[in-house]
Amino acid sequence: MQTTDKQSIKKALNEKSGFHVWWRLLRPHTLTASFIPVFIGSMAALLEKPLHIGLFLAMLIASILIQSATNMFNEYYDYVRGLDHEGSVGIGGTIVRDGVAPKTILNLAFTFFGIAILLGIYISYASSWWVAVIGAVGMFIGYLYTGGPIPIAYTPFGELFSGVLMGTVIIGISYYIQTLTITIDIIYISIPVAIFIGAILMANNIRDLDNDKESGRNTLAIILGRKQAIQFLGFLFLIAYSLTAIFIINGVLPKWSVITFLSMFKAFDVIKKFQGKSEPIEMMPAMIATSKTNTIYGFLLGLSLLLEKLI
């Protein structure tokens, strides 16, 4: 790709130099998938006993570091396998457009993992060493998401893995380290969140469908086709909100959780922004709106649990 084309892509994506290079590397619009589950699991635990702030902060930082490292592995291995180029939209562009050495990205990812491990040792010491085992498995899967001989991101199971690990597992751990128990209700509460997190990856794969197909990936979006994938994304939103309603009616969630339905306007916006679009750059707003849907829903869900405690 010529330099002029590269510059036009950077301008269209509003990519800046300096600090913004490293900020984009983290893919900040996706980090909602790490801090929202910690918030929800911790607020659910607060209903049972006072919150241990040290464990909360350690879990929050560790989760963000692990996801950030996973994003870096993604960028590194997609570059190594030749999937990313200067015109690729769905990446931080740190390697192909900003010229950061691939080895630097890889080393930074392992550094983030190392810090997360230290935080995990503290969390496990204060709660249970089973947390270390589960955390290690989660980190390994995070690496295998784009690393390893058969990257999970190249299969139809990416949404499932990301939803379960970032949603159900993180909510469960965040709840457990505060209460030292796991209940069936916390598992139920995690399901809609897992769906919204899986939807973030689904939106990402819809946007990247054509390039992924050419690169040999076999994501769920490719199997369904763009039109059906967008419809399936809408179906995921419907399931998540339906489960929320059922949980409120059955008392699994407090009545305050009805405020989560305020996030539906953003979910509708996602589908609207996808319809009629075919170019990755045109679908970026829909991808960002999907992350915002998870953020708004998750924040309101956590807030509803807090209100149940306070009122």
Joined together, the tokens standing for residue 169 give: 């597992």
What pLDDT is recorded for position 153?
A: 87
Q: What does 147-200 look like in DSSP terms, one character per residue?
A: SSSS-GGGSTTHHHHHHIIIIIIHHHHHHHHHHS---HHHHHHHHHHHHHHHHH
pLDDT tens figures, 23-59: 878 888 778 888 999 999 999 999 999 999 999 999 9
CA distance 134 to 177: 12
How is the chain split into domains, by residue range? 18-302
**One pLDDT digit (tens) per residue for the chain, 311 residues:** 334 455 555 554 555 666 677 787 888 877 888 899 999 999 999 999 999 999 999 999 999 999 999 888 988 888 888 776 665 666 667 787 777 888 999 999 999 999 999 999 999 999 999 999 999 998 999 888 888 788 898 899 999 999 999 999 999 999 999 999 999 999 999 999 999 999 999 999 999 998 888 888 899 999 999 999 999 999 999 999 999 999 999 999 999 999 999 999 999 999 999 999 988 889 989 999 999 999 999 999 999 999 999 98
pLDDT tens figures, 96-151: 777 788 899 999 999 999 999 999 999 999 999 999 999 999 899 988 888 878 88
Q: At residue 4, what is the residue type?
A: T
Yes or no: say if 64 and 136 are a contact pair by the CB < 8 Å rule: no
Yes or no: say if 38 and 298 are a contact pair by the CB < 8 Å rule: no
